[in-house]
Chain A
Amino acid sequence: MPRMTMIEAIRSALDVSMSRDDNVVVYGEDVGFFGGVFRCTQGLQQKYGVSRCFDAPISECGIVGTAVGMAAYGLRPCVELQFADYMYPAYDQIVSEAARLRYRSSGDFTCPLVIRMPTGGGIFGGQTHSQSPEALFTHVAGLKTVVPSNPHDAKGLLIAAIEDPDPVIFLEPKRLYNGPFDGHHDRPVTAWSKHELSEVPEGHYTTPLGKAVTRRQGEAVTILAYGTMVHVALAAVEETGIDAEVIDLRTLIPLDLETIATSVARTGRCIVLHEATLTSGFGAELAALVQEHCFYHLEAPVMRVTGWDTPYPHAQEWDYFPGPARLGRALRDVMEAS
């Protein structure tokens, strides 16, 4: 089976989808001739022509607004916003339009649309190239929100998202594009080629939306993570020697609560991990759900390890980023609590 980086896996998902369905169109800033600033759409314009893959003006409102119209027509647009940090001009089109079109028209019009956007930090991107705005999407009724953590899932989830009849926000952790990053920024970069989840089938397959996966089985504590933080969690578990269960959520909405609750009921402890800011982050929702559904199994308070409630800094990136050391301290704390 071929090995792919996350970029190659995403490109392969787009390629497979475009070849299977003429209604799939791909556009965004720098997406056409150049193939995207992260090269996820490289070669697609040459292969499918300019009417299927093209450059868009720098207007996120225009990109998503036109995509809503295309989806209402019957196409399946899969648009790219260059960075998740740039999505705010499109937010009205996402929240008030894409997310509600099926509901407000009682199914007369629908919006099968995918909005891809690179998310998260770890690349010295500063405030405007490092944000993790997933909670701004999970709070919106009508959207599905997906965050893959590896090439195999990225391809399967993206194909599933494109085939889904509802709008899907597809957040691509940009620090994972070229390799699994565990938060140890001072160590040599590892490539995907050495990781088992870089084995990606060439053809069509889907990874279902709404299904989490257990990346490591353990008995002591459950760590809920997604995207880059899955790799941070696995590193912290190895370094602390604490027998934690690591769940990769993969899809935030719809959420696989069953997998979460089954695990926490068994371990009795839970840490929620994300890069995004703490207050009103998706971790707050996870912590609330865990206490609602697992309260009588809990032996310690549900803890959150997240970015700070500040803008994402530039020079101080590694004091901001919730790496394995910070998670390790939380793991020890949660094991000592009773």
Chain B
Amino acid sequence: MNSLTPLRFHVPEPASRPGGKPDFSGVAIPKAGSTRRPPVDVAPEEIRDLAYSIIRVLNHEGQAIGPWVPDLTQDELVAGLRHMMTLRTFDARMQMAQRQGKTSFYMQHTGEEAVSCAFRIALGPDDMNFPTYRQAGLLIAHDYPLVDMMCQIYSNANDPMKGRQLPVFYSSRKHGFFSISGNLATQFVQAVGWAMASAIKGDSRIAAAWIGDGSTAESDFHAALVFASTYKAPVVLNVVNNQWAISTFQGIARGGSGTFAARGLGFGIPALRVDGNDYLATYAVAKWAIERARLNLGPTLIEYVTYRAGAHSTSDDPSAYRPKHESEEWPLGDPVIRLKQHLIAAGAWSEQRHKQTEAEILATVIAAQKEAESFGTLHSGSKPSSRDIFEDVYTELPPHLRRQRQQIGV
């Protein structure tokens, strides 16, 4: 006789699947301006509520309100809008180039442009990002040449990565952009190490770690939080929660934790949750965390609540795993439209200027694309040398690689 209750296995499910009605009723959205702004030296235990709220600045009318309104000038905001528009146009052109067979793969940022573009502006020029594949705004907002990005995507003769990396796996030390890895989460703990090194040397530069909601499940994420907490590393730990890890909804990685930000609390790391589609809020929260790092107050965890409006990459079709029109129902809207509305409401922008700017940016991106394609694409034109297969494995070519290189006759 067995009177024990049979155990039940639990697998979380998203609120809605293809064919269903998009449902974001589970995403509680506080009013813009309603979340308090503590001083940067606040004790982490005093702001536990901020890990469960969402810091927002822009309201439905496009007004910037509340304690988190940042000290950005209208010119700076227009520049931010241009960065996001450039990234969106760049994405559209490169997505098309992939469809035209000019490269093997591409990853868009649609809906997430504010996160990396605003963060870059908050960061100092010499600080170091350890990005994922969806933070190209860190390059665009830091004036990295579009042509170089495209040459990397095309793996052509001018590819700074010499054809060795998948498209969008950029690297630029000069622009504070660490080499991208396809093994997710590895960079998160490396950022902590870079920050520890900066502190060991008495430097003033800080690091920024980046990760998506899905890969917070990796052990590297947890190791990063332990090391950042233990050594009070000057690092900003950024979690971009865009709701979807390829086809897997964020609840699979989040589990029973209320939010991803809340993961920081057990480590004694102050954790803030911010509207990632609100350029002003994203900038303000980033600035707060960066200031903490610079003042030797240690790490901050930020969860950017956003939505991946496009596919994960050119290799998947979101309509196979989520309702077709889910992105239109996303309650935090679109970052480009929201900043545009704000600037119009403030009298600093107009529909006409927006259209003009769109056309200018498109012309700039097309010109860059033409120039990049003059150096070749993945399947036509000039290519990186076959010698580049063997270079840079080690500083000096060891004998066994010399023998192998001779075998292919280069």
Interface residues of A (CB under 8 A from B): 25, 51-52, 56-57, 59, 61-62, 65-70, 72-75, 89, 92-93, 96-97, 101-110, 141-142, 144, 165-166, 210, 253-255, 257-258
Contact yes or no, B169 A141, CB < 8 A: no
Residues of A within 8 A of B197 (CB): 25, 69-70, 73-75
Residues of B within 8 A of A62 (CB): 189, 220, 223-224, 226-227
Contact yes or no, B196 A66, CB < 8 A: yes
Contact yes or no, A65 B393, CB < 8 A: no
Residues of B within 8 A of A65 (CB): 186, 189-190, 192-193, 220, 223-224, 227
CB distance from A59 to the nearest CB of B (A): 5
Contact yes or no, B173 A51, CB < 8 A: no
Interface residues of B in 167-208 (CB under 8 A from A): 169, 171-173, 178-179, 181, 183, 186, 189-201, 207
Contact yes or no, A59 B392, CB < 8 A: no
Q: How far is it, in angstroms, between the C-alpha of A296 and the C-alpha of B393 when the chains are bound?
A: 32
Given A57-B227, A70-B194, A73-B198, residue A105 in contact with residue B394 (CB < 8 A): no
Most chain A CB inside 10 Å of its own CB: which residue of B160, B190, B197: B190
CB distance from B72 to the nearest CB of A (A): 30
Contact yes or no, A106 B194, CB < 8 A: no
CB distance from B182 to the nearest CB of A (A): 8
Given A70-B194, A73-B197, residue A59 in contact with residue B223 (CB < 8 A): yes
Q: How far is it, in angstroms, between the C-alpha of A89 and the C-alpha of B227 when the chains are bound?
A: 15
**Cross-interface CB contact of B226 among A59, A109, A257, A258, cutoff 8 Å:** A59
Closest to A95 in B: B183
Interface residues of B in 77-127 (CB under 8 A from A): none
Contact yes or no, A103 B164, CB < 8 A: yes
Contact yes or no, A69 B398, CB < 8 A: no
Closest to B202 in A: A51
**Cross-interface CB contact of A25 among B186, B200, B398, cutoff 8 Å:** B200
Residues of A within 8 A of B192 (CB): 65-66, 69
Contact yes or no, A72 B171, CB < 8 A: no
Does B53 lie at the interface of the complex (its beta carbon under 8 Å from any beta carbon of A)? no
Most chain A CB inside 10 Å of its own CB: which residue of B130, B181, B199, B394: B394
Inter-chain pairs besides A57-B226, A69-B207, A102-B394, 11 sampled, C-beta below 8 Å: A25-B200, A62-B220, A65-B223, A66-B196, A68-B190, A102-B393, A104-B164, A106-B162, A107-B392, A108-B160, A109-B178
Does B138 lie at the interface of the complex (its beta carbon under 8 Å from any beta carbon of A)? no
Interchain residue pairs with CB less than 8 A apart (7): A57-B226, A62-B224, A65-B190, A65-B227, A93-B186, A109-B171, A142-B394
CB distance from B267 to the nearest CB of A (A): 11
Contact yes or no, A92 B186, CB < 8 A: yes
Does B16 lie at the interface of the complex (its beta carbon under 8 Å from any beta carbon of A)? no
Does B165 lie at the interface of the complex (its beta carbon under 8 Å from any beta carbon of A)? yes
Contact yes or no, A97 B181, CB < 8 A: yes
Closest to B225 in A: A62
Does B395 lie at the interface of the complex (its beta carbon under 8 Å from any beta carbon of A)? yes
Q: How far is it, in angstroms, between the C-alpha of A144 and the C-alpha of B398 when the chains are bound?
A: 10
Interface residues of B (CB under 8 A from A): 128, 130, 160-162, 164-165, 169, 171-173, 178-179, 181, 183, 186, 189-201, 207, 219-220, 223-224, 226-227, 230, 392-395, 398-400
CB distance from A84 to the nearest CB of B (A): 19
Pairs A-B, 4 closest by C-beta atoms:
A69-B193, A66-B193, A62-B223, A65-B189
Residues of B within 8 A of A93 (CB): 186, 189-190, 220
Contact yes or no, A108 B220, CB < 8 A: no
Contact yes or no, B169 A104, CB < 8 A: yes
Residues of A within 8 A of B201 (CB): 73, 75
Closest to A209 in B: B398
CB distance from B385 to the nearest CB of A (A): 12
Contact yes or no, B171 A106, CB < 8 A: yes
CB distance from B370 to the nearest CB of A (A): 24
Residues of B within 8 A of A68 (CB): 186, 190, 193
**Cross-interface CB contact of A97 among B165, B173, B190, B219, cutoff 8 Å:** B190
Q: How far is it, in angstroms, between the C-alpha of A257 and the C-alpha of B224 when the chains are bound?
A: 41
Contact yes or no, A106 B164, CB < 8 A: yes
Given A59-B223, A254-B400, A257-B399, residue A96 in contact with residue B186 (CB < 8 A): yes
CB distance from A185 to the nearest CB of B (A): 36
Residues of A within 8 A of B194 (CB): 69-70, 72-73
Q: How far is it, in angstroms, between the C-alpha of A57 and the C-alpha of B398 when the chains are bound?
A: 36
Residues of A within 8 A of B179 (CB): 101, 104-105, 108-109
Q: How far is it, in angstroms, between the C-alpha of A106 and the C-alpha of B180 when the chains are bound?
A: 12
Q: How far is it, in angstroms, between the C-alpha of A97 and the C-alpha of B138 when the chains are bound?
A: 21
Residues of A within 8 A of B191 (CB): 69
CB distance from A69 to the nearest CB of B (A): 3
Contact yes or no, A69 B200, CB < 8 A: no
CB distance from B153 to the nearest CB of A (A): 15
**Cross-interface CB contact of B392 among A106, A210, A255, cutoff 8 Å:** A106
Most chain A CB inside 10 Å of its own CB: which residue of B186, B193, B207, B224: B193
**Cross-interface CB contact of A102 among B165, B189, B230, B392, cutoff 8 Å:** B392
Residues of A within 8 A of B160 (CB): 106, 108
Given A96-B183, A104-B165, residue A144 in contact with residue B400 (CB < 8 A): no
Q: How far is it, in angstroms, between the C-alpha of A247 and the C-alpha of B183 when the chains are bound?
A: 39
Residues of B within 8 A of A92 (CB): 183, 186, 220
Most chain B CB inside 10 Å of its own CB: which residue of A61, A66, A89: A66
Most chain B CB inside 10 Å of its own CB: which residue of A72, A89, A101, A109: A72
CB distance from B184 to the nearest CB of A (A): 10
Q: How far is it, in angstroms, between the C-alpha of A255 and the C-alpha of B399 when the chains are bound?
A: 8
Q: How far is it, in angstroms, between the C-alpha of A210 and the C-alpha of B399 when the chains are bound?
A: 10
Closest to B403 in A: A257
**Cross-interface CB contact of A166 among B162, B230, B394, cutoff 8 Å:** B394
Residues of B within 8 A of A102 (CB): 392-395
CB distance from A151 to the nearest CB of B (A): 27
Contact yes or no, A108 B173, CB < 8 A: yes
Given A57-B230, A74-B197, residue A69 in contact with residue B164 (CB < 8 A): no
CB distance from A169 to the nearest CB of B (A): 13
